[in-house]
Structure 1
Amino acid sequence: MAVLAGQKAVRFLDKGCLMEELLNVPDRPPSSAECKQAPKGCIIWIMRSSFYWLLPLVLILASEAQGQATRRPRPRPRPRPRPRLRPTPSFPQPHEPSEPTDLPPPLPPGPPSVFPDCPRECYCPSDFPSALYCDSRNLRKVPVIPSRIHYLYLQNNFITELPLESFRNASGLRWINLDNNRIRKIDQKVLEKLPSLVFLYMEKNQLEEVPSALPRNLEQLRLSQNQISRIPPGVFSKLENLLLLDLQHNKLSDGVFKPDTFQGLKNLMQLNLANNILRKMPPKVPTAIHQLYLDSNRIETIPSGYFKGFPNLAFIRLNYNKLSDRGLPKNSFNLSNLLVLHLSHNKISNVPAINNRLEHLYLNNNSIEKINGTQICPNDVVAFHDFSSDLENVPHLRYLRLDGNYLKPPIPLDLMMCFRLLQSVVI
């Protein structure tokens, strides 16, 4: 019966009168006799009874169908372009000098000082009243130095010059450390007004020449790792007390050194000219010298008898040069007081003659193919002599480096017989 009712409902729907028939159907259910006499009314009543239950569902389905027909597909959001990041400048503002990247960050101000004259940007320790610590403070100039200060620490700053008034109130300074700054210009008289200055450290700056008018009492002058290519005439003439002169890692050439360059350095004990561009041995080195550093230059020859005028010379470094047998006269290093000799990384083919007091000999990374203990044994020593009763004449050599040559183990027996005190031999 439900199928029949559905078919007739469709037919009524096609004729457009379904709603009118549904509204005119009586509220009471028809009897069986009435359904037989008027099946149409019975069918319509059944449809009206189910109409109230199906109407919400029909409306929901209709709205969904209409929405799907009219709904536009949602556009896929386009990815937003990433904003271009402007590169952060690695340099400060134009009014500030660019700062080296190898410096540590500036230290915060120290605790309040018990000294009223202590500069605000520095630190004055109460247990060391004669010292002033202004290191790593990002300073552009030298602060006002109290007159009580003897030891001044100004390393690791951005100081570019030393004008005349730099140490105006501190004539009693004995120690100044200006390492790792940017000093390029020094007033000619600024250091002359420091008569008590003994130690002056100015390594890792931008100096192009040795400062003039240095204090007479200066004992140590350290100027390594600058851009020094000039030594003014007579700059060392009054430095009779200077003991150490360090000029390594600069741009010094042979033409810089005149016969009178070192005139006045009567007590100089240590001279460091390593890592420059020298091709010759410097002339007229002070005779009181104890230690001579000439590593990493371009020296090819040593004049005959060059070291004879240095009776106290005990330490020589000539590593990383261009020395060969032709450039080494016989007995060049046969010096009575020589204790340590560095000749590594050259072009030497034969072991040079040495004295019996030498303790350390470095000949590694040369062109030595063979070694004869009898030949290199000091001239006044017999290789197989019994030294048990003559220990004073025993060769003192204790350390010998021969690696990086064309030698192969074992160590020659005559070498061991001559140098009885050898503790280490590297081949």
Structure 2
Amino acid sequence: MVSLFYVSTVRAIICPSSCRCDRRERSVACSGYNYLGLPKMNVPPAVRTFSLTNQSILYFDDTWSDLGLDLREIKLINCQVSNMSANALRGFGRLRILHLNFNSLSEVPYCISNSSSIRDLRMSDNEIDSLSVDTFQSLSELRILELAYNWISELPDEIFWNLSELRVIDLSNNMIGTSPDGHLSIKLS
């Protein structure tokens, strides 16, 4: 089944198979494929939101980096992602929202740590077991951080030190005891 995604009054772009495209929302949502990596699709360049759910992607590489997309939101939910390349988010300088819930990530990937434009990062229900003091230091725009239902047991001192915009943090259902000095330095306004 093929559906058309109208970018302008002049031309139409084919919506990728097994996807839903919404012209008004400038979004593409796909479900039900099994890939080893990100699917190579003809994604309309006007798309701002791309969602993949219930997939078997395993590895998030830099497949989309050279597509000329100006994505603001990427959601890979329940896609069995266990690894992301260092360049996976290269070219997405205006990415604001990254949701990677219900995957198999054991750490916050390096490519995320260097994506300073991210404001909403959700990685609940993964296998993250540790965080380093510099994991979030470059994410100065971060407002929402969700890491619930992971295996995190300890929070390094000053892990949230540089996150002056942080408003919401969810670390529920981890195995966190106390921070090394007995308290957690975090300021939420």
Tell me: CA distance 1:146–1:168, structure 2 relative to 1, closer, same or farther (3 Å): farther
Question: Aligned letter for 2:39?
Answer: V
Aligned to 1:218: 118
Counterpart position of 1:138: 33
The one-letter code of the counterpart of 1:204 is: F
1:173 partner amino acid: L
Within a 5 Å distance, the mapping from 1:266-277 to structure 2 comes to 266-277=164-175
Match of 1:285 in 2: 185
Q: Residue type matched to 1:120 in 2? A: S
The 5-angstrom pairing of residues 18-33 of structure 1 reads none
Count residues in correspondence.
Answer: 177
1:236 aligns with 2:136: yes
Matched, 1:111 2:3: yes
2:27 maps to 1:122: no
SS at match of 1:123: strand
Q: Conserved in 2, the CA contact under 8 Å of 1:119 and 1:143?
A: no
Distance 1:267 1:117, change over 3 A: same
Deviation at 1:276, TM superposition (A): 0.8
Q: Which structure carries more relative contact order (alpha carbon 8 Å, separation 6+)?
A: 2
Deviations 1:147-167 (A, max 9, x none): 221111112222111112234
Letter in 2 for 1:124: C
The Cα shift of 1:232 comes to 4.2
CA distance in 1, matches of 2:5, 2:93: 28
Structure 1: give runs of 5+ residues left out of the alignment.
Answer: 1-108, 290-311, 313-427
- Pick the aligned partner of 1:260 from 152, 155, 158: 158
1:178 aligns with 76
- Are 2:87 and 1:189 aligned? yes
The one-letter amino acid of 1:188's match is A
Q: Deviations over 1:269-304 (max 9, x none)?
A: 1111111111215854331x2xxxxxxxxxxxxxxx
Alignment of 1:26-425 (within 5 A): 109=1, 111-113=3-5, 115-125=12-22, 127-128=23-24, 130-134=26-30, 136-140=31-35, 141-144=38-41, 145-214=43-112, 215-254=115-154, 257-280=155-178, 283-287=183-187, 289=188, 312=189
Deviation at 1:130, TM superposition (A): 2.0
Given residue 203 of structure 1, which amino acid in structure 2 is its aligned partner? N
Q: Comparing both structures, which one devotes a greater share of its residues to strand?
A: 2
The verdict on how the C-alpha distance between 1:265 and 1:211 changes in structure 2, with shifts beyond 3 A counting, is same
Contact 1:155 1:181 in 2 (8 A): yes
Letter in 1 for 2:148: Q
Gap change, CA 1:148 and 1:228, over 3 Å in 2:
same
Which residue identity does 2:27 align to in structure 1? A
Over aligned residues, Cα RMSD in angstroms? 2.2
Could you tell me how far 1:205 is from its partner in structure 2? 0.2
**Secondary structure, in 3 states, of the residue corresponding to 2:53?**
coil
Identify the structure with the greater helix proportion: 1
Cα deviation 1:213-270 (Å, max 9, x = unaligned): 332111110000000012244221121111111111000012xx22232232111111
TM-score (norm 2): 0.82
For 1:233 and 1:132, how far apart are their aligned partners in 2? Answer: 35
Q: Which amino acid aligns with 2:168?
A: Q
Partner in structure 1 of residue 9 of structure 2: none
Shift of the 129–110 alpha-carbon distance from structure 1 to 2, 3 Å rule, reads farther
Structure 1 pair 219/123, CA: closer, same or farther in 2 (3 Å)? same
**What's the offset of the Cα at 1:209?**
0.2
1:133, CA displacement in angstroms?
A: 1.9
Give the secondary-structure state (helix, strand or coil) at the position aligned to 1:152.
strand
TM-score normalised to structure 1 length: 0.39
Q: Which has the larger radius of gyration?
A: 1
Q: What 5-or-longer segments of structure 2 have no aligned partner? A: 7-11
